[in-house]
A and B are shown apart, each in its own frame.
Chain A
Amino acid sequence: MSEKVYAFLLRLYPPAFRRRYEQETIQLLRDRFRDEPGYFRRLRLGFDLIVDVVRSLPQAYGNSYAEVTAVHPVAYPLQGVPMFQSLRNEPIRRGTFVVAGTLTLTALIAFGYVMELPMPTRTDRSNGNKSPVESVLERLNRQAPLSPVKRSA
């Protein structure tokens, strides 16, 4: 079997498989051609390849070809140390969004409530005098207009 015939057979595989592995399969085939000379060995290689195509097609179509393109550095210094594999491998559940949304809303409501409170002032200084900032804050709190709800009440 020639390289051209095998390249034609590769068209039977899913496009994602071809995009990722076509060059490697052709390279592997060239290596085997180089390492397996002789008529009978080539004949056996051709037979092996045909059987291989038939047997591997179902698995090739069963793969998803998603998110496996990450290339990791070769060093592996932390063998046995727990890593965040689950964050990478497991999809985010719907419940996560509900919990995150609820917590965000609660935080915003709490923030709004705190902002509605009057600003604290201190009048119990030992000498009875207020700082300029405290005086302004007290006047602001005293002169703050009533909200429409309070006014109607």
Chain B
Amino acid sequence: MPKRRLDPLPSAAFQILLSLAEENLHGYGIMRQVEQQTNGRMRLGPGTLYSSVQALLEDGLIEEVDQSSARGATDERRRYYRLTPSGRKLARSEAERLADLLRVARAKNILRGDYV
């Protein structure tokens, strides 16, 4: 099996996968969702957003959907994207990896109790 190019998964790519976990979004929607889920800490610029989207498409982690049938699609010029099963699987494994790191950090008293 060919090696994934997104290995390790960059932070921007992981955030894009998370943003598509619940609904199909276009580029601007992804940018806004990422901004929201990171409490404004990450604001994807167009270059980072679309080069990451392209890499995720090439790795089969997301796919473009027919925008005419996408929920809430009002602008036909925009492309809508959705998570593939392998993208969801990768997002889950990355989240589990981060959860393990969090457990280690808490065990070593790096973090106080406010975090999950």
B55 contacts A71, C-beta separation under 8 Å: no
Chain B contact surface mostly: mixed
Instruction: Give the docked Cα–Cα distance between A29 and B28 (Å).
Output: 9
A141 at the interface (CB under 8 A from B): no
What's the nearest-Cβ distance from chain B to residue A98, in Å? 21
A49 at the interface (CB under 8 A from B): yes
Q: Point out the residues of chain A lying under 8 angstroms from B70, CB to CB.
A: 74
Interface residues on chain B, size class? 35 or more
B85 contacts A79, C-beta separation under 8 Å: yes
A147 at the interface (CB under 8 A from B): no
Complex: chain B residue closest to A21, CB-CB: B50
Mask, B55-96, CB within 8 Å of A = 1, is 101101001111001110000011110100110000000000
B28 contacts A63, C-beta separation under 8 Å: no
Max chain A Cβ within 10 angstroms of own Cβ: one of B49, B77, B86: B49
A52 at the interface (CB under 8 A from B): yes
B55 contacts A31, C-beta separation under 8 Å: no
Instruction: Give the docked Cα–Cα distance between A91 and B103 (Å).
Output: 40
Complex: chain B residue closest to A86, CB-CB: B1
| A:9-25 near B, CB below 8 Å | 13, 17, 20-21, 23-25
What's the nearest-Cβ distance from chain A to residue B8, in Å? 14
Query: Which of A53-61, A103-111, A118-126, A130-138 faces chain B?
Result: A53-61
Q: Point out the residues of chain B lying under 8 angstroms from A55, CB to CB.
A: 45, 47-48
Q: Point out the residues of chain A lying under 8 angstroms from B78, CB to CB.
A: 24, 27
Interface residues on chain A, size class? 35 or more
Q: Point out the residues of chain B lying under 8 angstroms from A25, CB to CB.
A: 27, 46-47, 50
Given contacts A23-B77, A27-B78, contact A52 B47 (CB under 8 A): yes
Given contacts A17-B51, A71-B66, contact A66 B58 (CB under 8 A): yes
B5 at the interface (CB under 8 A from A): yes
| B:14-62 near A, CB below 8 Å | 24, 26-28, 31, 43-55, 57-58, 60
Contacts A/B (CB < 8 Å), 16 sampled: A27-B27, A27-B77, A31-B28, A52-B44, A55-B48, A57-B47, A59-B55, A60-B50, A62-B55, A66-B58, A71-B66, A72-B65, A72-B82, A74-B65, A75-B69, A79-B85
- Given contacts A52-B48, A60-B50, A70-B64, could you give 6 more A-B pairs where the C-beta distance is less than 8 Å? A13-B47, A27-B27, A31-B28, A49-B45, A57-B47, A59-B52
- Residue numbers of B with Cβ under 8 A of A are 1-2, 5, 24, 26-28, 31, 43-55, 57-58, 60, 63-66, 69-71, 77-80, 82, 85-86
